[in-house]
Structure 1
Amino acid sequence: MKRTVLTGLLVLAPACATPSREPVSVAEAYARALDEGRLQDAYALTTNGPDGETAFLERYSDEATRRERAAAVRSSAEVLEARAPALTLARSGPDWRVVEARPADVPRAALRRFLDASDAKDWKTAYGLLAAPLRARYTPERLKEDFEREPLSKERLRRARLALNTHVRVGAGEAVFPLGDERAVLLVLEDGEYRVLALE
Structure 2
Amino acid sequence: MRHIMTPTEQTPLTPEREREIRDRREAVTDTPWGSYRDLGGEYTVEAGATITLDEGFSSTGMVARVYGDSDEQRYRRADFITQAPTDIDRLHTELDRVRAELQGARATVTELTAARDAATAEAESLRSQLADAYGSTAAEWMQTQQQLITTLMARVAELEARPSLTAEQVAVKGAVYWEVLAHRDDPDLSSRIAAAVTSALAEVRAEAGDRR
TM-score (norm 1): 0.29
Higher strand share: 1
- Bigger Cα Rg: 2
